[in-house]
Amino acid sequence: MSFSSFIVQVLNGLAGASSLFLVAAGLSLIFGVTRIVNFAHGSLYMLGIYVAYSLTESVGGGLGFWPAVLLSAIAVGVLGAVVEVLLLRRIYHAPELFQLLATFALVLVIKDAALWIWGPEELLGPRAPGLAGSVSILGRQFPSYDLFLIVVGPVVLGSLWLLLTRTRWGTLVRAATQDREMVGALGVNQAWLFTAVFALGALLAGLGGALQLPREPANLELDLHTIGAAFVVVVVGGMGSIPGAYVAALLIAELKALCIWLGVVEVFGFTISFSKLTLVVEFLVMAVVLVVRPWGLMGRPQAPSRHAGTVEAPLRPVDNLFKAGAALLLLVLTVLPALTTQTPYVTVLMIDLLIAALFATSLHFIMGPAGMHSFGHAAYFGLGAYAAALLVRSLQLPMELTLVVAPLVAAAGALVVGWFSVRLSGVYLAMLTLAFAQIAWAIVYQWDTVTGGSNGLTGVWPSAWLADKAAYYYLTLVLVILSMLWLKRCLYAPFGYAMRAGRDSPLRADAVGIDVKRMQWVAFVIAGLFAGVAGALFAFSKGSISPESLHVGKSVDGLVMVLLGGLQTLTGGAVGAVTFTWLHDTVARNTEYWKAMLGAIILILVLLFPQGIAGFVRQIIYGKRDEIGGRA
């Protein structure tokens, strides 16, 4: 660990920062102006590298590399514009965050499309002509292409800065980042501004991908591997701040290089592997930055969006029609195992559906009424599941007792994370919950002796009297129904109203004596508790538990369920969960390209039901009543 090796690692970090910055810059632009959480940004990056690969292959390498990089970026930019015009533009007026669902579907479609077009194998591109070799720096061979990348980052940063500060278009973009309604009021065609921004963002993602061609192979994992880091950079830098994105990219890339440089270190007799820390270092940075600076390093407080979609309709007392429907559903659920003895899989699937419904309902509880968009809700599901597994395996607690204790562990986790998170709002809150969830995931993934590490824990089966699937189904049914009824009751109670009040108008809430942050904190803990119930039920239904249960993928599934069902409808979480899980099961069984199929179905649902499925049904049945405001 000499000083010269440190210097070269700093250079490595600079090259890494440039790569990271290019993806993040586009995401930050899109995020800042359109408020779209563009999950597909990583997919656009991935397409950039694939397209560049094909172009260089077709022109036979050599000097064709450079035009291929540019053409690839442009192609991805055009695709971005098409996506914006054909898809996103139609759903800007949907409730907040709904566009996330559309971009999630795009991720699925693009991934399968790439598999279909380019096949499953990793595709290693050519080295860049003229920059194929290395130069000697401090006695080490340093790739000349990395030197080029070190320059590219600041050059793109400078160009973007000029574009944003020296052109009329740039002024509009900056204005829209601060207050997008204002730009609309100024008579600027907001639609085309959004299209242009989305196209530019996509182009930058494509460029970022294409420029990586000499450094890494095009492969189908790039989308998800990229998107997480890119979001972290955007948020750490401050949403909408391009220089902030560069600073954040630099910070994270250098910290990673530093960790790798340190390698395995002995401190006070403990062996610390800094190399292993690279698994989660960006999320640690994000957690620290957001706790200290709630709007990122160079961001500003988010202007409250005044016309963020449609206003939620007031809660109405449950009417007889709904009661009759619920009673019928409950009856069907009760007799289901008896009706399906010939097809016992129905019971198995129903257990999964019920657990998913409770998980999504617990997330809906804070996302909808309290307006807190948690991107890390799987943490509490996973905590509940792991707590259940550990209590049964290590402490030999009776399984029935763990169903009570495990949710409390999840709630305790939510208590800690909630304390930090409710100080923030909007996307920053979402990203802080994600950071904590990923840190929890990394701990579970690494702590072999306790959590079983990446393999997880097995042998988590229920007590003998529940071994039969039908018995376990009834246990799940009772717990899930009771939980959901209580959550619903809670939303109709003063606490639920106070959450909605705090979301609708924090100022007014404060002026009538409501401590909004405290309400949110309590809501966060309640949501964590019930996610923990779902997690514990899940663990015993599967007999094993693995880090996936608290990974960001699970959190995203939760978001997708809630948005699909309808953020503004009480039953939205449950309806979305059942739809998504059932679709997933059916489509995956019957289709080879099931990801694309699932994505396409979600896209159709997105376009048909911008209020979510439950929201749509509600509108059909109760639309008139909501409008005139009669008490039904």
Partner 1 sequence: MSLLRVSGLGKSFGGVKAVDGIDFELNAGELLALIGPNGAGKSTTFNMVNGQLRADVGSIRFNGTELVGLKPREIWRLGVGRTFQIAQTFSSLTVVENVQMALISADRKLFSMWRPAASHKRAEALELLAQVGMAGQADRPCSVLAYGDVKRVELAIALANDPKLLLMDEPTAGMAPKERNELMALTKELVVQRNMAVLFTEHSMDVVFAYADRMIVLARGRLIAEGKPNEIRDHPKVQEVYFGSGKTFEKDKMALKVAT
Partner 2 sequence: MMGRTTLAAAVITTCVAAMPAAGYAQNVIKIGEVNSYKAQPAFLEPYKKGMELALDEINAAGGVNGKKLELITRDDNANPGDAVRVAEELVSREKVDVLTGTFLSHIGLALTDFARQKKFFFLAAEPLTDKIVWDNGNRYTFRLRPSTYMQVAMLVPEAAALKKKRWALVYPNYEYGQSAVATFKKLLKAAQPDVEFVTEQAPPLGKVDAGSVVQALADARPDAIFNVLFGADLLKFVREGNTRGLFQGREVVSLLTGEPEYMDPLKDEAPNGWIVTGYPWYGIQTPEHKAFVTAYQAKFKDYPRLGSVVGYSAIKSLAEGIKKAKSTDTEKLVAAFKGLQVDTPFGKITYRAEDHQSTMGAYVGRTKNEDGKGVMVNYRYLDGAKFLPAAAEVKKLRPAD
Q: For the chain, how long is the longest CA-to-CA vector?
A: 81
- DSSP-assigned beta bridge partners for residue 545: 457
**Can you list the alpha helix ranges (DSSP code H) found in 35-179?**
41-59, 65-86, 98-118, 144-166, 168-178
User: Any contact of residue 489 with partner 1 (CB under 8 A)?
Assistant: yes
How do 134-137 and 140-143 pair as beta strands? antiparallel
User: Any contact of residue 41 with partner 2 (CB under 8 A)?
Assistant: no
Ramachandran bin of 460, using left for φ above 0, alpha for ψ from -120 to 50, beta for the remaining angles: beta
User: Any contact of residue 448 with partner 1 (CB under 8 A)?
Assistant: no
User: Any contact of residue 313 with partner 1 (CB under 8 A)?
Assistant: yes
User: Any contact of residue 320 with partner 1 (CB under 8 A)?
Assistant: no
Decide which of partner 1, partner 2, none touches 100; Cβ closer than 5 to 8 Å per partner kind. Answer: none
Could you identify the residue written with the tokens 């309640």? 526
List the one residue from 288, 510, 592, 607 that touches partner 1 (CB under 8 A).
510
List the one residue from 159, 165, 171, 273 that touches partner 2 (CB under 8 A).
273
To the nearest 10°, report the CA torsion of 562, 564, 569, 574: -60
The span of 78-86, 341-349, 514-522, 595-603 binding partner 1 (CB under 8 A) equals 514-522
User: Any contact of residue 55 with partner 2 (CB under 8 A)?
Assistant: no
Find the radius of gyration of the CA atoms of the chain: 25
User: Any contact of residue 458 with partner 2 (CB under 8 A)?
Assistant: yes
The span of 53-61, 187-195, 322-330, 622-630 binding partner 1 (CB under 8 A) equals 622-630
User: Any contact of residue 522 with partner 1 (CB under 8 A)?
Assistant: yes
User: Any contact of residue 471 with partner 1 (CB under 8 A)?
Assistant: no
Two tokens, residue 534: 């779902």
Could you identify the residue written with the tokens 């979305």? 576
- 3-class SS of residue 457: strand
User: Any contact of residue 624 with partner 2 (CB under 8 A)?
Assistant: no
User: Any contact of residue 458 with partner 1 (CB under 8 A)?
Assistant: no
List the one residue from 453, 471, 583, 617 that touches partner 2 (CB under 8 A).
453
Gap between the Cα atoms of 368 and 312, Å rounded: 9
Decide which of partner 1, partner 2, none touches 122; Cβ closer than 5 to 8 Å per partner kind. Answer: partner 2
Q: What are phi and psi of 259, to 5 degrees?
A: -60, -40
Decide which of partner 2, partner 1, none touches 495; Cβ closer than 5 to 8 Å per partner kind. Answer: partner 1
Looking at the Cβ atoms of 12 and 402, the one nearer to partner 2 is 12
The span of 22-30, 31-39, 76-84, 258-266 binding partner 2 (CB under 8 A) equals 258-266
User: Any contact of residue 352 with partner 2 (CB under 8 A)?
Assistant: yes
CA angle 113, 119, 125 (to 5 degrees): 105
Q: Output b/e per residue, 320-347; b: 16+ Cβ within 10 A.
A: eebeeeeeeeeeebeebbeeeeeeeebb
Gap between the Cα atoms of 73 and 53, Å rounded: 12
**Near partner 1 in 26-45, by CB under 8 A:** none
User: Any contact of residue 140 with partner 1 (CB under 8 A)?
Assistant: no
Q: How far is the CB of 279 from partner 2 (least distance, A)?
A: 4
Decide which of partner 1, partner 2, none touches 498; Cβ closer than 5 to 8 Å per partner kind. Answer: partner 1
Q: How many residues bind partner 2 (CB under 8 A)?
A: 77
Decide which of partner 1, partner 2, none touches 93; Cβ closer than 5 to 8 Å per partner kind. Answer: none
Looking at the Cβ atoms of 192 and 465, the one nearer to partner 2 is 465
> Which is nearest to 602 in space by CA: 591, 593, 610?
610
Residues whose CB is less than 8 angstroms from the CB of residue 112 and which lie 6 or more positions away in sequence, other chains included: 593, 595, 596, 599
The span of 27-35, 69-77, 182-190, 583-591 binding partner 2 (CB under 8 A) equals 583-591
List the one residue from 179, 181, 319, 548 that touches partner 2 (CB under 8 A).
548
Cα–Cα separations (whole angstroms), residue 529 to 105, 138, 354, 483, 593: 29, 55, 16, 10, 37
Decide which of partner 1, partner 2, none touches 314; Cβ closer than 5 to 8 Å per partner kind. Answer: partner 1
* Binding region for partner 1 (CB under 8 A): 311-315, 317, 489-490, 492-498, 500-501, 503-505, 507-515, 519, 522, 626-631
